């Protein structure tokens, strides 16, 4: 309900206010103003009396202002003017500045009037611009959410880029919308823990599961979230800085692969290398005791076994499995070159199909050499190895003893071998190199009853026509 205010009480009230005050009648004429209008607008209170309040409105908004006045008078009360709008006022010299305006209806001795309390927020706007500039300059995505409701209030440009949507599409949504739908409750609980702890940096849930954001395209990106509570414009908020840790996760996976690789090597050295060393030592002792130099043949065989182990181990340590570059490689050419580098004695290589595969030349060389060596180790000097290709891959098959069906799932694991002088690492190297290229590998029985290794998911170009089997080495 309006309160009747005398002129003397109104003047005293005006003088106590820290903001500029203008009193406007129902026709929009300024009836009174306090002393604070002069430093803000450049007008003295006396100059303003009798002027239309539209004189304090920027020219661009002046035509619309009377309608706003009339709308307020139809439903008067105490409230902010133009809530959620950027309001500006006009000075005597024509310049404009941002303002907050609060309106109140007052019943005076002269009738119903509207009191407008005007605050210059230029400094606040400057600070907001600086704050926004700092946000947009941040190297990581930033999300600001209401601490009570979880509603997103602001995001920076990097957040837009991460989520693949605009700020307008993000603001107003619940913070859980940033994450995979099936884990909504887990992320809501995580948000509450941030609020309770004031600040925290988290990259995993308590059980070790990774944190993800889900982009507009459906991609799940692993993130580390650093969050802390803060008061912004009088509201309690949570500021979250999201860091894309995809590279870190890939590094961790690679590190784990290296650890597993070293564990495999440790097993090889502790077991497989110890056996030929014992054989060699025993052969030397017998030769020394008996003078029978034929015993040294066992030593030579053991040394050959150790040399193979060392070669395969060095391949793992020095080169690993990772690919560096992919280039077109003629299948026939690289197969023939690799065949020449393997002790094949009387074995035969047949190129069944001519074409190109796209691969890392250095890595795929290791792949073929290990496959050829494996075929000769198990098939002997008379084995025939056939290399062919298709629209989505290639194959290497032999006519050796083959691999029993129950063992085909294990042959690619480190340590598997049936040859007395086998290292158990060759086929595992083949498997890992294929995996590094993104290829699939399957083990079958060849048409001749031997072993066949099929590689699929390979980018290939098959030449028109095929060889008739005369391509022989």
**Spatial distance between the Cα atoms of 466 and 389, rounded to a whole number of angstroms:** 10
pLDDT at 423: 46
Instruction: Return per-residue pLDDT of the chain as tens, 473 residues.
Output: 344 555 556 556 666 778 899 989 888 899 889 989 999 999 999 999 999 999 999 988 888 888 887 877 777 766 666 555 678 999 999 999 988 888 888 877 777 788 888 988 887 777 677 777 778 878 899 999 999 999 999 999 999 999 999 999 999 999 999 999 999 999 999 999 988 887 789 999 989 999 999 999 999 999 999 998 988 777 889 999 999 999 999 888 888 877 776 776 666 565 556 656 666 777 777 777 787 777 677 677 767 767 766 766 666 566 556 777 899 999 999 999 889 877 777 899 999 999 999 999 888 888 898 899 889 888 888 999 999 999 899 999 999 998 888 888 777 876 555 544 444 566 878 888 898 899 999 999 999 999 999 999 999 999 875 444 445 55
Question: Which pLDDT value is given to residue 472?
Answer: 59
Same fold, 4-120 and 125-244: yes
Strands 20-24 and 30-33: antiparallel
**Cα–Cα distance, 381 to 68 (Å, whole number):** 99
CATH 3.30.450.20 given to domain 4-120: yes
pTM: 0.47
Class of domain 255-462: alpha beta
Every domain of the chain and the residues it spans: 4-120, 125-244, 255-462
pLDDT at residue number 200: 85
The Cα–Cα gap between 194 and 15 comes to 46
**pLDDT, position 466:** 47
Distances (CA, A) of 292 to 209, 235, 308: 64, 94, 27
Output the pLDDT for position 369: 85
- Output the pLDDT for position 191: 93
Which two three-digit tokens encode residue 240? 């979250």
pLDDT, residue 368, reads 92
Q: Which fold, 125-244? A: Beta-Lactamase (3.30.450)
Two structure tokens written together for 247? 């590279």
């Amino acid at each position: 309900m309006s309160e009747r205010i005398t002129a003397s009480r109104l003047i005293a009230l005006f003088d106590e206010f820290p903001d500029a005050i203008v009193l406007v009648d129902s026709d929009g004429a300024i009836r009174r103003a306090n002393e604070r209008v002069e430093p803000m607008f450049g007008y003295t209170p006396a100059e303003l009396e009798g002027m239309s309040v539209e004189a304090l409105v920027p020219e661009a908004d002046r035509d619309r202002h009377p309608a706003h006045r009339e709308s307020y008078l139809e439903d008067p009360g105490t409230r902010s003017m133009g809530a959620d709008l950027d309001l500006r006022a006009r000075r005597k010299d024509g310049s404009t500045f941002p303002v907050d305006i609060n309106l109140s209806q007052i019943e005076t001795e002269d009738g119903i009037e509207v009191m407008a309390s005007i605050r210059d927020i230029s400094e606040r706007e400057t600070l907001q611009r600086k704050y926004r500039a700092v946000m947009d300059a941040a190297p990581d995505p930033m999300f600001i959410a209401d601490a009570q409701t979880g509603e997103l209030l602001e995001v920076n440009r990097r957040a837009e880029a991460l989520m693949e949507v605009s700020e307008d599409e993000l603001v107003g949504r619940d913070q859980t919308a940033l994450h995979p739908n099936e884990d909504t409750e887990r992320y809501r609980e995580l948000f509450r823990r941030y609020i309770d702890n004031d600040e925290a940096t988290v990259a995993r849930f308590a059980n070790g599961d990774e944190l993800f954001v889900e982009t507009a395209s459906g991609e799940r990106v692993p993130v580390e979230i650093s969050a802390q509570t803060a008061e912004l414009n009088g509201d309690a908020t949570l500021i979250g800085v999201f860091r894309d840790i995809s590279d870190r996760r890939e590094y961790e996976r690679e590190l784990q692969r290296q650890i597993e690789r070293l564990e495999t090597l440790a097993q090889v050295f502790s077991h497989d290398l110890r056996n030929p060393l014992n054989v060699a030592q025993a052969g030397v002792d017998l030769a020394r005791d008996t003078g029978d130099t034929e015993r040294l043949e066992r030593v030579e065989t053991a040394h050959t076994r150790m040399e193979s182990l060392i070669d395969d181990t060095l391949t793992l340590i020095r080169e690993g499995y990772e690919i560096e570059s992919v280039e077109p490689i003629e299948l026939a050419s690289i197969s023939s070159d690799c065949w020449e580098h393997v002790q094949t004695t009387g074995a035969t290589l047949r190129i069944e199909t001519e074409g190109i595969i796209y691969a890392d030349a250095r890595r795929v060389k290791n792949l073929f050499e290990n496959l050829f060596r494996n075929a000769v180790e198990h098939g002997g000097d008379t084995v025939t190895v056939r290399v062919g290709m298709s629209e989505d891959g290639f194959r290497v098959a032999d006519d050796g003893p083959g691999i029993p069906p129950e063992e085909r799932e294990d042959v690619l694991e480190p340590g598997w071998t049936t040859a007395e002088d086998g290292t158990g690492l060759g086929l595992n190297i083949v498997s890992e190199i294929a995996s590094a290229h993104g290829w699939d590998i399957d083990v079958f029985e060849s048409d001749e009853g031997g072993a066949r290794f099929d590689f699929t998911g390979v980018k290939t170009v098959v030449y028109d026509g095929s060889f008739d089997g005369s391509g022989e080495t």
